[in-house]
Amino acid sequence: MVDPVLILLVGVIVVVGGIIGFKLHPFLALLLAALTVALLTPTELVQQYFIGKGMSEAEALKQAHKSIGERIAAEFGNTCTKIGILIAMAAIIGKAMLDSGAAEKIVRAMLRMTGVKNAPIGFILSSFFLTIPVFVDTVIFLMMPLAKAMGLRLGKNYLLLALSVIAGAVMANSYVPPSPGPLFLVGALNVPIGLMMVCGVLLGLCTITVGYLMAIFLNKKIPIPLRDSPDARLDDIRAIAEKDDNELPSLGWALLPAAFPLTTICIRSAIEAFHKSGTPISSSAIINTMLEVLLFFGDKNIALLTGGIFALLVLASQKKTTKDKLTAFVQTALMSGGGIILITAAGGAFGGMLQQSGISARIADLTKGYQMALIPLAFFISMVVRTAQGSATVALITASGILAGMAQNANLGFHPVYLCLAIGSGAKLVPWMNDAGFWIMCKTSNLTEKEALQTIAPMQSLMGITGGVLTMLAAWLFPLV
């Protein structure tokens, strides 16, 4: 039987060699890698993967005997289910906010608050706190147009602004409930959610500080300009930047396309995190009805769809455009978003095939008997699984599954919250081409694959390492037991 580690190495060679060596489009390279991994994976490993997901042996065998094309398409579709509408609507919101002047209005307001020098700090803190209740992808989609507008206005430091958005978002996604990963960890390791929120925010602020310093260094070392793209032509952004303030939409209208989805998603996340489903939210029928409406609009897909409608309304009122021009505008935005969806879904298919190869279970077996302290072990397992198959969620689940029993040990010597933080830190290493999130960050920021590997990957990895080291230090100084 082929070792899953060997399958992983072959998949890595196909992706990296295809994109960098043969200059293949990432979509094709990722699909070829997914096909290669699937061809090398024995049916027995695929069956074991589905059994591990809770299927019966008969059902798992049925899934394992599906054709390779069906399995790749299923994982491709699963990724589209998660991000397809989000990316499409975010593309419309982003382009509409740029073209209508809404992004420029927000940038001017932020500059008045932070000053030019501290603008990147405003970006990194905003993305960090927004990602606590909102999905990381959504925050990146909504804030990257602001980074582009700010970068053009300043005439420099675009990479610093883009990396600031990414740094704040990815770290909140690892540490602070009700983000899905941390929320899973507190349940698996029986950690109080309030304690995880406090510790996660404190550790997150420390790690994004390191990320910010790294972003400053990378911005000086690898100066990357803001480039033209189909959804954000520099001449168009420059023309808007030269407008008088009274020619731009009001700040309230400018904020609405982004603020509405963020607010409703926040409310839904808060209710779902602290309220038991199936029971009335309050004793008042009117309040319950209002909250039900908010919950409806707080669904991430509905929220982004509504935000897209608001963005188009702002654009139409600002430019007095015709229906035909508005249709052409949406078509251009969707063409840009469609390319991101295809690449991201192909990355999801590649990652899915790696998961079906049994790489997570193989890594779990390799590390189960390894004698080392629990916090470094938690970090190490999460890091290796994340790097191997791309999914931070799978890394969290694998590491917590291995360590859950040990975390309940009365003689642990420190609070299990530190294991959660170590697992979250390890899940930040190493983002590369088997990760759907890598492609979202790469394409929304208009970086090339090489540039993303030179900037996003080392910054995120350094923040993860910093989080692991600080977690070990805090567990030693403040064991909380």
Tens of pLDDT, residues 109-122: 877 887 878 888 88
Q: Can you give 356-391 as a three-state secondary structure string?
A: HCCHHHHHHHHHHCCCCCHHHHHHHHHHHHHHHHCC
Q: How far is 86 from 425, CA to CA, in rounded Å?
A: 26
* Residue 329 and residue 98 in contact, taking contact as beta carbons nearer than 8 Å: no
In the chain, what percentage of residues exceed pLDDT 90? 15
**Section 184-206 average pLDDT:** 84
| Pairwise CA distance, residues 102 & 89, whole Å | 16
Give me the sign of the Cα torsion angle 281, 282, 287, 288.
Answer: positive
Which range among 51-60, 212-221, 356-365, 412-421 has the greatest average pLDDT? 212-221
- Taking all residues of the chain, what is their mean pLDDT, rounded to a whole number? 81
User: How open is the CA angle 334-336-337, to the nearest 5 degrees?
Assistant: 60
Reported as a single tens digit per residue, the pLDDT across 153-175 is 777 888 999 999 999 989 988 88
Domain range summary for the chain, segments of one domain joined by +: 80-342
Query: 468: pLDDT confidence band, cut at 50, 70 and 90?
Result: very high
Q: Which ranges constitute the DSSP H helices of 222-358?
A: 234-241, 251-274, 285-298, 300-319, 323-356
Rounded alpha-carbon distances, angstroms, from residue 11 to 64, 176, 351? 20, 32, 10
**Cβ–Cβ contacts within 10 Å for residue 313, how many?**
15
CA atoms within 13 Å, Cβ hemisphere of 230: 16
C-alpha distances out from residue 92 to 81, 87, 88, 126, Å: 18, 9, 7, 21
- Rounded alpha-carbon distances, angstroms, from residue 190 to 270, 315, 340, 419, 457: 19, 48, 37, 11, 31
CA distances from 239 to 93, 168, 201, 415 (A): 19, 30, 39, 55
pLDDT in tens, 178-191: 676 787 777 777 78
Average pLDDT over residues 400-421: 73
Grouping H, G, I as helix, E, B as strand and the rest as coil, residue 83 is helix
Quote the pLDDT of residue 371.
Answer: 46
Query: Does residue 347 carry a pLDDT above 80?
Result: no
**What's the one-letter identity of residue 342?**
L
For residue 427, give the nearest of 381, 466, 470, 371 by alpha carbon.
Answer: 381
Among 152, 170, 164, smallest CA distance to 119 is for 164
